[in-house]
Structure 1
Amino acid sequence: MNRTFLVFGAQNSAGALAARHYGNQGYDVVLVADHAQAVQALTSVLESEGIATRTFTGDLSRPEQARAMIRSIRSSVGPIDAMYYGLDSSNMPEAAALAAQAADLGCLSLAAVVSEVLPEMRSRKTGAIFLDQGAADLSCSHSANAQLCLQCLQEARACEGVQVDTLSVSALIGGRRAS
């Protein structure tokens, strides 16, 4: 059975590098984007390098849609072994007029995604959840929704065999984080 690496935010540098890194380690890569065109070039590059790639599209700015997306992916490709979450809530359509609300939605979507993948990882006692440094900063900390994000991530960190960490471009190319 192939292992699956799920990428939310493949259109950003860290997401694209993570997709390539895990793909080169034998994972099938699933790219999630609002529109297939957003990751079309990356899909072509990965496939030209022999990395099995699938793309799913959908609006992940709402938690219920994020959960449905995970279920759809799981039913199509099987278990999710690792995931990268690098969605930038400041790029959501609501951001221009409602920045705080957009941040909350991004935070709630993160919690929804983690709550969907975590039970399966927990039962297998293996898995990895990587957050882009920006997502990990939880810009929605001004609200009660941050509590939901933090609770979900703390639960993930407490699971035996499940790794939760931030991922940066420098870590993916073998560098060190800037001080």
Structure 2
Amino acid sequence: MQRCTWAGTDPLYVAYHDTEWGVPERDSRALWEKLVLDGFQAGLSWITILKKRDNFRAAFDGFEPARVARWGEADIARCLADPGIVRHRGKIEATVKNARAWLALEEQGGFDKWLWAYVDGTPLQNHWRDESEVPAWTPLSAQVSKDLKRAGFGFCGPTIVYAFMQACGLVNDHVTTCPRHAACAALG
């Protein structure tokens, strides 16, 4: 069996593929962090974000939504000056907006429960034989995107949301020739 080819040979990327991508994530705060990082990835490669993940965590107060939700212009300016992260005003401002939206969903029962309800609490199991079969987005990711925006989130279009759903294990898109396909299916 051969792992998904998108993981390449970079040890960091391989480790991410082999231990994290596609594993069902049910921690609400961790889900928020991953959604934010997927938003930052828009227009860039995931390895770029992965290599900067620790810098992002430091810049964004450990991805503690209650802290980030209180941010003002000085905090945004600090991030815009931080060469260790992607310095994009719209994405940084969306992170603050997303923290506030996340807090509102937490008060309504939890972001994790809200999100996992889209798949009835169980990861969708795809059976792609080749990576060329994997879609960039789906009708479900379009609906989740629409609902996230309605809830006050930003930088969460259908393609970003689908990448997020794959990363967090709401959908298992490891190809069937990858040993992680069966391993992630067993976790569902």
Instruction: Tell me which interval the TM-score lies in, with the shorter structure as reference length.
Output: under 0.3
Structure number with the higher strand fraction is: 1
User: Larger radius of gyration, structure 1 or 2?
Assistant: 2
Larger relative CO (CA 8 A, sep 6+): 1 or 2? 2
Q: TM-score, normalised by structure 2?
A: 0.27
